[in-house]
Structure 1
C-alpha cells in the first residue's frame, strides 16, 4: 500500500474554499491538469468522469461529502494509472489566526510493481500539487 499527501495554506476563508471543493463536478474549473468533468448522479455515490489535458480519462466515485467536517472522499472506478484500490480525500481546516484555509489532499493505493511505484507517486504528487495551486489561484481570485 502506498500513501501520499500534499497540503497547502490558501489565502481564502475556509467557507469559500469548501464551497468550491464540495462541488464535485467543478474540478475542471480550478484544476489546471483537467480539461473537463461530467457528473453522473447526485451526491454521495455519484460518478465524476474527468478528462485530463492529455486526453486520458478517469472515473471517480464520491464516497463521502461531510459539510460539518469539510471532508470529501472519492475512489477510482477506472483510470489510466496502473494502480488498484485508489482512494483519496480532501480535508479543509480553518486557520483561525489569519482567516486562511489549511487543506490536505491525501491518497492511498496498491501498487505491487515496485519498479513503477516511484513513477506513479510522482504523477499523483503532480496532480495533487498542481490542483492545490490551481485551487489557491481560483479561491484567491487570481485565476
Structure 2
C-alpha cells in the first residue's frame, strides 16, 4: 500500500480553516485540479479536466477537525483501497493542515500524490490570499 503525507502551516484560526476545507463548494478555490464540486449528502462529486471523481465521506469530525473520504468512482484504474484524510490542528501561529493518503494499487500513488501535493500548495495559497 502506498502511503504519503503533506502538511502546511497557515496563519488562520483552525475553525476558519476547517470551515473552508470542509465546504465542498469551495474545493475548486484551493484544489487546482477541481473545476466544480458538489455534495449529494453521501458523496462528493469533483469535476476535473480528466472526468468526475466520486468520493464517499467516511468521517467528518468537527471536534477533532478530521475529514476522511474514499474514492469510489472515477480513478484511472480500479481502486482496491483508498483513504484520504485532512486534519486541521491548532498551531502556535494559526493552523497546521495535514493531508494524507493511503491507496492500493500502488500504481495510482503517483497520480494521487501529485494531486494532493498540488492541493496542499493550494491550501497555503488560498489562506495567504484570503486573510
TM-score, normalised on structure 2? Answer: 0.88
1:6-85 residue pairs with structure 2 within 5 A? 6-41=6-41, 46-52=42-48, 54-82=49-77, 83-85=79-81
Taking only aligned residues, the RMSD between alpha carbons, in angstroms, comes to 1.9
Q: Secondary structure at the match of 1:125?
A: helix
The answer as to 2:110 corresponding to 1:108 is no
Q: Give the superposition deviation at 1:134.
A: 1.4
Unaligned regions of 5+ residues in structure 1, if any?
A: none
Q: Which residue does 1:95 correspond to in 2? A: 91
Q: Give the superposition deviation at 1:60.
A: 0.4
Q: Secondary structure at the match of 1:68?
A: coil
Count of residues paired in the alignment = 130
Q: Secondary structure at the match of 2:129?
A: coil
Q: Give the superposition deviation at 1:142.
A: 5.2
The answer as to 2:131 corresponding to 1:137 is no
TM-score, normalised on structure 1? Answer: 0.81
Unaligned regions of 5+ residues in structure 2, if any?
A: none
